[in-house]
Structure 1
């Protein structure tokens, strides 16, 4: 079996792109169309506001609402995308009605999709795409999400709950004696004695335990992991290649240990490729047991700055008033995220040069010969523009920018002992 597979990062697409004729864009389209399979994570939500927005309280202070019109599905299909992952932190921005409408729109466009469903089993289920060169399965999982997002299990008397395919992690903090005692004092002084136990404090929705030093420990939910591993193993029997999309929100360019451990478990279960995203920044690539793990491919599209309308919840949360306009909300959000405007409970996410890093991405093409992975080519992408109206459309980066991106990817991949060479402006990994 000879096959070419394309993987990308987050698609936050809100505008038409089939009208563009410049060479850097059309070169990218040609690469995608040349592949048998082209996968992306649909981070935007495609719908017409049939569903109700989730409460701002559960969305979180840092998260906005995503929306794109149905034509975006057709535009992605035009581009050559044919498999779409949907399990991410925006998977339920407008509730179950949105989830159902989006599925109808994707089906009508001929896009195979996975990662959400009417109940937990449906959200976990693999989907398949037939090609002349083989059959590919797609699963989509998310480990960082608002509390309203996870799908619920169905039972004899309950239909289940619509949502995303979530893999939960328990978070526990170990504190040194001095730090533990200081936190205990704070809890006592503020009248929260019921949160104190002998060697444990419940604070800020987290568990703090006495330890030798200050550390953070994640423990994956075994039932969530086993459920997904069973589906991966099952899909492996029915497909030539299994792609698992992993949405995670590690800050910075290096994934955290629990993300790495989960990615390894997915490969051990039978995943041939792990396609990662979530940090809005590039992260490295690991070849684990012969299978590539792309921890984060960056933002493939980044057009969330031209969403046409937001629900009143977002305007009110931001203190703008119920009659605020979309670009006023974007201006406010960017001021907070950049640190130009300080607001309680919101951390600056992209100050200084980091904002431009949100516009660096990589498109990976994987070449299989005789069923074996032979080569990975990393095409550097760049979609920054001074004007918001032109920002966010992926294009093959110019040579100087592309060389910089490839150099960064080599640096981020070095801890995994993955060697990336720059061959004529394309990063190359030979297996």
Structure 2
């Protein structure tokens, strides 16, 4: 079984104006020449770093710098790549308030795209997205440490917010996530935690490492991180895989010439039963609000930087014939 995971997919602002609303362009154009690789996977999952809606007003525009909203035609963009599920626990899904969020989840539901991490109430935000695949069932749980004011409750819409420190989750979030992962395990053979946590730049902190370790100890099989604009090192922890950050996948952001936040990977996770056996990293770049395969120079940069970042966790990654490989013994 092969799962395709991406970093942040932001379909607002110029992506929305120049690509999504442009009726002369087919919806699949945004995925470029990496689309055939995505379509070979058994399941495709993204972190949706915006809200899809035509409703709502900007949330606290005087204090929040960036607000990302995509036209409902963005659903056609997701369907063109046969996206099976999206994670919504992040710092942009409520950029236009609860009405836009609820409109977004309704649009996704009508399109048959599963989602997790946000909803009308806490129970809905906590509920995993479950995928019944031919080889095994997969459950995805989504959480974030961003925007505590957006935390879902039993009375208001929001996200699955968590707080943690150098020792991992703090109460009541530790008890809550324990139950969420137990529920996910009852519904699926493979459990993935999607974590939109930490700052935009830099290596994972001690607290982020403690969070990832604890979530895997609680029963998750794979930690899939994002929020950081660049891919970070992969750690192998007790036979399980931690992707601390999968970087950016689609956006209109300014590019830092040192960090190269326009470069990342499509992560193909190969699974046998409930064990991740291998992770394949296909280098990509963001160009003109679209995703493309990285060229030779970009591949060299990504290979060099990713090997260094993985070495910090004593993880061996082999780059050969344009693809990186991490094998789990």
TM-score by length of 1: 0.69
SS in 2 for 1:96: helix
Give the C-alpha shift of residue 144 in structure 1.
Answer: 2.4
CA-atom RMSD in angstroms: 2.2
- 1:255-290, Cα deviation, whole Å (9 max, x unpaired): 011111111111111111111111212211111122
Name the structure 1 match of 2:135.
133
Deviation at 1:104?
1.0
Give 1:75 deviation, angstroms: 1.1
1:30 aligned partner: 36
State whether residues 253 and 284 of structure 1, in contact with CA within 8 Å, keep that contact through their aligned partners in structure 2: no
Query: Is 2:189–2:273's contact at 8 Å kept on the other side of the alignment?
Result: no
* Maintained 8 Å contact 1:250/1:256: no
**Distance apart, 1:218 and its partner CA:** 8.0
Does the 8 Å CA contact 1:18/1:79 hold for their aligned counterparts? no
**Which blocks of at least 5 consecutive residues in structure 2 are unaligned?**
none
- State the match for 1:9 in structure 2: 7
After TM superposition, the score normalised by the length of structure 2 is: 0.90
1:411 to 308, 315, 318: 308
- Corresponding residue of 1:233: 182
Shift of 1:411: 0.9
Deviations 1:224-280 (A, max 9, x none): 122122111221121021111100133533101111111111111111111111121
Does the CA contact (< 8 Å) of 2:85 and 2:129 recur in 1?
no
Between Structure 1 and Structure 2, which shows a larger proportion of strand residues? 2
Structure 1 residue 403: deviation in Å? 2.3
2:272 to 366, 369, 382: 369
Gaps of at least 5 residues in structure 1 are 155-159, 171-216, 306-333, 335-349, 385-389
1:21 Cα offset (Å): 6.6
What is the DSSP-based 3-state SS (H/G/I as helix, E as strand, rest coil) of the residue aligned with 1:383? strand
**Residue 192 of structure 2 contacts residue 224 of structure 2 at CA under 8 Å; is this kept in 1?**
yes
Matches within 5 A, 1:29-428: 29-49=35-55, 51-57=56-62, 59-60=63-64, 63-145=65-147, 147-152=148-153, 154=154, 160-169=155-164, 220-303=169-252, 353-354=257-258, 357-384=260-287, 390=288, 392-428=289-325
Once residues 265 and 124 of structure 1 are traced to their aligned partners in structure 2, the CA distance between those partners, rounded to angstroms, is: 17
- Secondary structure at the residue paired with 1:265? helix
Counterpart CA distance in 1 for 2:167 and 2:273 is 39
